[in-house]
Amino acid sequence: MTLLSSPLFQSLNPAELRDLQEIAQEQAYRTHQEIIRAGEPGDGVYFVKTGVVEISAGHGNARVFSLLGPTEIFGEMAIIENRPRSATAKAVEPTVVYFLPRKQILDLLERSPSLKQALLQQISQRLRAFNQVHVRELVQSEHLAMIGRLVQGIVHDLRGPLNLINLSADALALDERQGESRVKTQNRIRKQVVRINDLVSDILIFTQGPAVADPPPEVNFASFVRELAVDLEEEVSMRSCRWEISTPPPHAWVCMDPRRLSRVFFNLVTNATDMMPEGGRIILGFEEDAGEIITSLADTGPGIAPQIADTLFQPFSTHGKTRGTGLGLAICKKIIEEHGGRIWVKTSTKHGSTFCFALPISKSRQESDPVVTGQGSSKMNKP
């Protein structure tokens, strides 16, 4: 293998090629022997005649960047910058290289514009290849971190219903009565099992993307909230928080999937209680306006900085919590938008945060079911 075999030197004229051959110093290395070491002066460039050279960097467990074979060069950064080596080169097998001293190769570059251009192209290609490897590693690392955050978030979301199941099962074992109390506890367990199944299903639906489904049925919103409030109040009280309803839900009809919309309420309540580990208040309110039902859920936590509000509904975005992935809010956004609605947050760093979502009204109809509203109660007065 000769120097002329390298594409880098093929543009040289006979006189320039003779000058190159005169300055080239042939060197032989045994297996695993270092050719250059990171930190040493960059005194020249190397051309692989035979064998394989490993380029690596780092202390301890060195990271291998590339393997170079015949006709390839390394150490070329020493030509354009007079700085210590940034990588180590080692012979993988018995290897012979040509060493081209820095001063002599610089002199040759001054006399050969074509060699200068070829060298710049070589360096550009090497840097581009390195960047591609680096980007792939970053993407892989981020994917692994994302999977880890997702798993943590799933475990976190599962912990609530599992705790309720555990407490209810203990109460069921101790309850010797066979009447209404026992049935109520059994129903509570069943609801939490369904909730766990819904949670897992929603994550699967989120990762699979939108699916074509039948239009959801028309549901009375006030009746839906009245039934859901019983479970939400249990969730809040378990987390040492108080539950208030400032305004009752309107008796309007909405096309919705109650199971999936329940997920929105639970996600927002869970996020609010996570921000108030020492306790606090959650205030739920409703408003009917311009053909929409607007639901607001406010908390008395530390609030959310306005500058991060735009990222809250992105997958795997979290703020102010050591657990969770932010997937909960992303699922909320997906569910609300699939119902033809919108969701947003009112930010504050002093008075907690308020999450709001609006759902289009299908038709309005008054019902005769009495609903009572009050602090700490799941019953609401008729509007």
pLDDT at 370: 42
pLDDT over 80 (residue 172): no
82 within a domain of the structure (yes/no) = yes
Structural domain contains residue 127: no
Confidence of residue 297 (pLDDT cuts 50, 70, 90): very high
Domain span holding position 251? 218-364
- Contacts of 112 by beta carbon, 8 Å cutoff, 6+ apart: 11, 12, 16
- Domain check: are 281 and 347 in the same one? yes
Specify if 369 maps to a domain.
Answer: no
Spatial distance between the Cα atoms of 66 and 263, rounded to a whole number of angstroms: 49
Beta 363-364 vs 354-360: how paired, if at all? unpaired
| % of the chain residues with pLDDT over 70 | 63
d(CA 374, CA 354): 20
**Residue that terminates a domain, selected from 59, 93, 111:** 111
Least trusted range by pLDDT, from 56-60, 118-122, 316-320, 323-327: 323-327
CATH number of residue 34's parent domain: 2.60.120.10
Interatomic CA distance for residues 77 and 126, integer angstroms: 10
Q: Are residues 317 and 229 in the same domain?
A: yes
DSSP single-letter state for residue 235: H
CATH number reported for the structural domain that contains residue 156 in this entry = 1.10.287
Last-in-domain residue among 63, 94, 111: 111
Same domain, 95 and 150: no
Task: Based on the fold, state whether residues 327 and 276 are members of the same structural domain.
Answer: yes
Structure pTM? 0.49
The answer on 222 and 158 residing in a single domain is no
Residues 103 and 156 in one domain: no
Please identify, among 165, 180, 208, the residue that sits at the C-terminal boundary of a domain.
208
- With tokens 């609006």, the residue in question is 358
Number of domains the chain contains: 3
Whether 120 is covered by a domain: the verdict is: no
The per-residue DSSP string of 100-143 comes to EEHHHHHHHHHH-HHHHHHHHHHHHHHHHHHHHHHHHHHHHHHH
Instruction: Residue 264: give its domain's CATH number.
Output: 3.30.565.10
Same-domain status, 352 and 267: yes
Indicate if the pLDDT at residue 176 is higher than 50. yes
Judge whether 383 lies within some domain.
no
- pLDDT surpassing 60 at residue 212: no
> In this predicted model, which residue has the larger pLDDT, 186 or 250?
250
Same-domain status, 175 and 306: no
Q: Are residues 174 and 310 in the same domain?
A: no
**Confidence band of 372 (pLDDT split at 50, 70, 90):** very low
Q: Do 81 and 48 share a domain, yes or no?
A: yes
**Stretch 28-41: mean pLDDT:** 91
